[in-house]
Structure 1
Amino acid sequence: MTTSSLNLSGRVAVVTGASRGIGYFLARELAAAGAHVVAVARTVGGLEELDDEIKAEKAISGKGEATLVPLDLTDGKAVDRLGGAIHERWGKLDIMVANAGVLGVIAPLGHVEAKVFDKVMAINVTATWRLIRSLDPLLRLSDAGRALIMSSGAAHSARAYWGPYAASKAAVEAMARSWADESKNLPLRVNCVNPGATRTAMRAQAMPGEDPSTLPHPSEIAKTIARLASPEVTETGQIFDVPSNRFVRYRMPE
């Protein structure tokens, strides 16, 4: 399936971290396919720019709308209210993309400050759990709920100096797999995504000496990820590896 053939008309999608990077371009792709995107991020300017892009595309294609939600995902009560607001307006949710995340620092574990470790876990793990908790009931009301949780190869490579980030991504993968097993008999499909090395601000922070021109632009990565929101996707409890363009299958529990 190509992105151009993806039809999400009538579907509602939440994308966190939508003000820049992969989240920004993924929100655009989902809107271009006809979805109403609930764009969540802390940076109002980035959200407004996204809204302008979606409106410009709609003027041409007639597809896509956005609702902007400036929100700090560490505000648990605000995340809880998000689910209630979506239920009140649409009565369901079709797509959830938990994309927001932070790197922390690249350093030996014993040198990481407690406040840095706590922030990585608060945003990458706890906020993702709060989002799942808030939106799971709405996704269950969809005829084809799709949840995508952004992970990283770091969760498996566990490279030196990447400890907090690697641990956080391993944690969200474990949560996603449990959630997928809980909902395996429902129309809800839950998968993780490893986007691979991408030309983003986070990548530049992690690899300051790397030439960004050698990496794929997040707009390219977003086109691949958007396909996973399709009702045609049947896999659940897996991780989609963007660099190899395939699902990496975990062994699901008996």
Structure 2
Amino acid sequence: MTPNPDLSGRIALVTGASRGIGYSVAKQLAAAGAHVVAVARTIGGLEELDDEIKSAGGQATLVPLDLTDMPGIDRLGGAINDRWGKLDILVANAGVLGVISPIGHVEAKVFDKVMAVNVTGTWRLIRSVDPLLRNSEAGRAVIVSSNAAHSARAFWGPYAASKAAVETLMRSWADETKSLALRVNAFDPGRTRTAMRAQAVPGEDPKTLPQPSEIAAKLMPLVSRSLTETGLIYQAQRDRFVAYRQPE
């Protein structure tokens, strides 16, 4: 894979761009030449990102949007189509943890929110931008997942289930588009120094974890024009692609 792709002239959409891995990915995409459409709920974080991107000579369009706003996701796809007529890169990074709790103790409203943001929001986003990615000469989609989808550890039930679901969506989408120029993969960042990780494992020493910028750099090759893989999961902290289940 190309470690530092030239993304000049490319349009890239990043969700969850106001902090953590999404923030770092957006900065690195812009530094590589892409025009970044940065999506997040937190306006302050988006404005800080915009300042950093522009001070480095990059370009960004800010979109304050909650991924539970399904009509808003549809409008986003329409706006990208009206302005550019295509999308070259999707990084579907936004997600929520919910709670670390026995399954039987999880409140219905918490479970519903995890599924709404992580699963339904991701599906609605794919639905909205799939035609735009097909219009690119080398569309690239990266769905941010987690090893929780496979380890299925105690107390991580809702989050793990949501990530297993989005990986399945990714594999189906990749199989549907394998004859096209579009490449679709998942990205497992592993343990990273983020607010979500601190919420999940509050007693952990953050100094033992890699910074989001280090992990974002591992994602960059997945958006390169030279990428050939599709329908796989890239494990950032093991530097490898894996296929947990090949299509029959």
Quickly name the TM-score band, shorter chain normalised.
over 0.9
Q: Distance in 1 between matches of 2:213 and 2:12?
A: 18
User: What do residues 22-51 of structure 1 show as CA deviations (whole Å, max 9, x unaligned)?
Assistant: 000000000000000000000000000000
User: What do residues 45-94 of structure 1 show as CA deviations (whole Å, max 9, x unaligned)?
Assistant: 00000000001111xxxxx3100000111000000000110011001000
Q: Distance in 2 between matches of 1:43 and 1:224?
A: 25
Percent of aligned pairs sharing the same letter: 74
| Contact 2:183–2:228 under 8 Å retained in 1 | yes
Note if 1:204 corresponds to 2:203: no
Residue 174 (structure 2) aligns with: 180
For the residue of structure 1 that corresponds to 2:185, the secondary structure is strand
Equivalent residues in 2 for 1:138-217, closer than 5 Å: 138-217=132-211
Match of 1:77 among 71, 85, 92: 71
Residue 120 (structure 1) aligns with: 114
Task: With the length of structure 2 as denominator, give the TM-score of the two structures.
Answer: 0.98
State how many pairs are aligned.
248
Equivalent residues in 2 for 1:1-254, closer than 5 Å: 3=3, 5-58=4-57, 64-254=58-248
| Contact 1:181–1:252 under 8 Å retained in 2 | no
Q: Distance in 2 between matches of 1:249 and 1:171?
A: 15
The alpha carbon displacement at 1:224 in A equals 1.0
The alpha carbon displacement at 1:179 in A equals 0.3
RMSD: 0.9
Task: With the length of structure 1 as denominator, give the TM-score of the two structures.
Answer: 0.96
The alpha carbon displacement at 1:253 in A equals 2.0
Which consecutive unaligned segments of at least 5 residues does structure 1 have? Answer: 59-63
For the residue of structure 2 that corresponds to 1:30, the secondary structure is helix
| Contact 2:2–2:226 under 8 Å retained in 1 | no
Which consecutive unaligned segments of at least 5 residues does structure 2 have? Answer: none
The alpha carbon displacement at 1:251 in A equals 4.3
For the residue of structure 2 that corresponds to 1:14, the secondary structure is strand
For the residue of structure 1 that corresponds to 2:63, the secondary structure is strand
Q: Distance in 2 between matches of 1:20 and 1:110?
A: 31
